[in-house]
């Protein structure tokens, strides 16, 4: 009888130790996942809500020709394909503000978020589907 009780006590400690180990491992993975992400891709609905917030900058990372053909009103255009110019232009922007980025389909804006994160920006959002799927107001 005594050995049964000791066995149960030993298993409780093993279960507790395993739980603590798994919790530590999970938290490490979560932190690394957050650090690897440059920003967050959001739906059009959330993107439109974020546009109305204070201290938010709307950034079109397409080419000047694409921007002239049509863009979201109030957006600032900086071409991410000209990487060095892009880095110089974003370097002077306020890192405490929230940046909403978009391109044609979402690929270039993700690259722009990575570059901006490397420069110290932390509040970055990308429009899911890019300008080609934008249903909001457009300006030419």
pLDDT in single tens digits along all 140 residues of the chain: 566 666 556 666 556 455 555 565 555 544 444 444 689 999 999 999 999 999 999 999 999 999 999 999 999 999 999 999 999 999 999 999 999 999 999 999 999 999 999 999 999 999 999 999 999 999 98
Q: Which of 109, 101, 103 is nearest to 125 (CA)?
A: 101
Between the CA of residue 114 and those of 20, 26, 29, 93, 105, what are the distances in Å? 34, 25, 20, 15, 16
Q: Which pair of tokens denotes residue 111? A: 């690259």
One domain for residues 42 and 97: yes
**What burial class does residue 80 get, using C-beta atoms within 10 Å of its C-beta: 0-12 exposed, 13-18 middle, 19+ buried?**
buried
One domain for residues 10 and 62: no
One domain for residues 49 and 107: yes
Instruction: Round to whole Å and give the CA distance between 125 and 42.
Output: 7
Q: Which domain holds residue 14?
A: 1-36
- The model's pTM: 0.73
Residue 138 included in any domain: no
Q: Give the CATH number, domain containing residue 85.
A: 3.40.250.10
């Amino acid at each position: 009888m005594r050995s049964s009780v000791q066995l149960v006590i030993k298993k409780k400690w093993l279960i507790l130790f395993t739980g603590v180990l798994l919790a530590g491992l999970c938290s490490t993975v979560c932190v690394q996942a957050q650090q690897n992400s440059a920003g967050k891709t959001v739906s059009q609905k959330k993107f439109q809500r974020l546009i109305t917030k204070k201290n938010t900058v709307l950034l079109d990372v397409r080419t000047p020709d694409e921007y002239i053909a049509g863009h979201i009103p109030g957006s600032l255009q900086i071409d991410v394909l000209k990487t060095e110019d892009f880095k110089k232009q974003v370097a002077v922007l306020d890192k405490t503000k929230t940046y909403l980025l978009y391109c044609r389909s979402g690929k270039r804006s993700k690259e722009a978020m990575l570059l901006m994160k490397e420069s110290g920006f932390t509040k970055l959002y990308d429009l899911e589907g890019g300008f080609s799927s934008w249903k909001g107001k457009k300006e030419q």
